[in-house]
Chain A
Amino acid sequence: MPLYLCNMKTGSVPVEAKAKIARDITDIHCKATDAPAEFVHVFFLEEAEAPPLDNNQAYLQGNIRAGRNSAQKDEIIRGMCGSIARHTGLGIADIGMQLMDVPASWVMEGGDVFPEPGEEAAWLEAHAQRLAAEAAK
């Protein structure tokens, strides 16, 4: 978490653009939320069942931890849609985006329940210590 799913019409996002967009999505999310980059997953899908493309050429659905404020969400949406437009040549009107709030307590990553927003540093430290202790057994 977060998980960003970018559904797109076949051929609308060039192969070489995907790594650049994934980098931008990761950077934009981390800048807006202070979350560590390793938490950010970006998957590109072509004409998948979900998230729905509707009339868009590309549709980005972000499943993010609940607790982000409107300013953070605005920054994320503006930045990520801009990145997709810049790297694909699509118009902003051809790109849809939605953010879905997911309670942190519903997700386990690295074998630990996800931290609430703002508690990542302590979580990472405790997680690293737990893994080191298990490796030493």
Chain B
Amino acid sequence: MLIDSGSPGAVGTIGITLTINGERRELQVAPWTTLLDLLRERLDLTGTKKGCDHGQCGACTVLVNGTRINSCLTLAVMKDGAEITTVEGLAGLTQREGKNSLHPIQEAFVEHDAFQCGYCTPGQLCSSVGLMNEGYAKTRDEIREAMSGNICRCGAYTNIVDAIEEVMHQGDAR
């Protein structure tokens, strides 16, 4: 057995290691803590949003080892050893020398006016980077389909697809 929280009924916490936005963190977590709640409530990384908390809206999307997932449907303890990137860490993925810049997808969202209220935007951004890391979606139809896990109630979808398309064609996904 790799990990055992202890005897039945014990309210035990478990030690895990996560690398979050490039920073290695040793953490004690209760097993029922979702990755989303750990990020927001414990680590003050409130960029990642809690929308539905049931995997239906995509606002909580983060990258785990470069792959996009819903952090609300993930127990933090299960990601022991993983690298997590949240919206706060996207710029760090592409920091250019001597320039304090945003990630290209962030710049493209600004350029294309790809949001109104902004609540879904951190999830949309992380999902966009995940999509480009995957490398399967190429056409507008395919981008739309591959982004369907991120709901935008303001309806900025057209501009979101424009932003992703532009960055994808720059070949500057990371």
Do A and B interact?
Answer: no
